[in-house]
Structure 1
Amino acid sequence: MSRPVPDKAEVALEYPDKFYVGTFEHSSRFEARLDGSGVALVLQHPGAADERKSVHLHINFGLLAGILRELAGTVAAMPKDDIAHREQLADALDELRRALRTP
């Protein structure tokens, strides 16, 4: 089930001869789910045919674990007084941890 994007996402794809960039904000929707091999993420911006855009991304579990470890190593770069974002991330990770422990 898709949900409204609560903040903002920017996506850029760079190829040797092309560059694509897109922003997904509050008027956009997202879906994230686990499947048999990893995480499926979809970002969608609805609208007229010339405004619609979507990004579909699949990240295998091993890469996701590596990304989370890399993020943990860069938390020091967040401003120490950015309590709201720190709490958002910590609460979401706590929820994921609880869900992973439930058989």
Structure 2
Amino acid sequence: MSKPVPDKAEVALEYPDKFYVGTFEHSSRFEAKLDGSGIALVLQHPGAADERKSVHLHINFGLLAGILRELARSVAALPKDDIAHREQLAEALDELQRALGAK
């Protein structure tokens, strides 16, 4: 079940001969779920055929774990006074840990 995008996502794909960029904001929707080998993420922007866009991404668990570790190492780059974003991330992480049975 897809949900409204609560903030913003920017996606860029770069190939040797092409460059694609797209933004997904509040009028867009997302879906994220675990499957047998990783996470599936879908970002969708509805609208007329010339405005519609979607991105489908699958990340295996090993890569996701590596991404989370890199995020942990770079959290110092998030300003200490950015309380709102720190709380959003901490609350989401707590929810994931509870769901995994890690707490």
Bin for the TM-score computed over the shorter chain? over 0.9
Partner residue, 1:16: 16
Partner residue, 2:42: 42
Partner residue, 1:7: 7
Alignment of 1:1-103 (within 5 A): 1-101=1-101
Q: Deviations over 1:25-44 (max 9, x none)?
A: 00000000000000000000
Between Structure 1 and Structure 2, how many residues are aligned?
102
What value does the CA root-mean-square deviation take over the aligned residues?
Answer: 0.8
SS at match of 1:74: helix
Q: Identity across aligned pairs (percent)?
A: 90
Instruction: Report the Cα distance in structure 2 between the residues aligned to 1:87 and 1:80, rounded to whole angstroms.
Output: 11
Give structure 1 stretches of 5+ with no counterpart: none
Q: 2:31 corresponds to which letter in structure 1?
A: E
Q: Deviations over 1:56-88 (max 9, x none)?
A: 000000000000000000000001100000000
**Shift, 1:23, TM fit:** 0.1
TM-score of the superposed pair, with normalisation by structure 2: 0.98
TM-score of the superposed pair, with normalisation by structure 1: 0.98
Give structure 2 stretches of 5+ with no counterpart: none
Q: 1:46 corresponds to which letter in structure 2?
A: P
SS at match of 1:48: coil
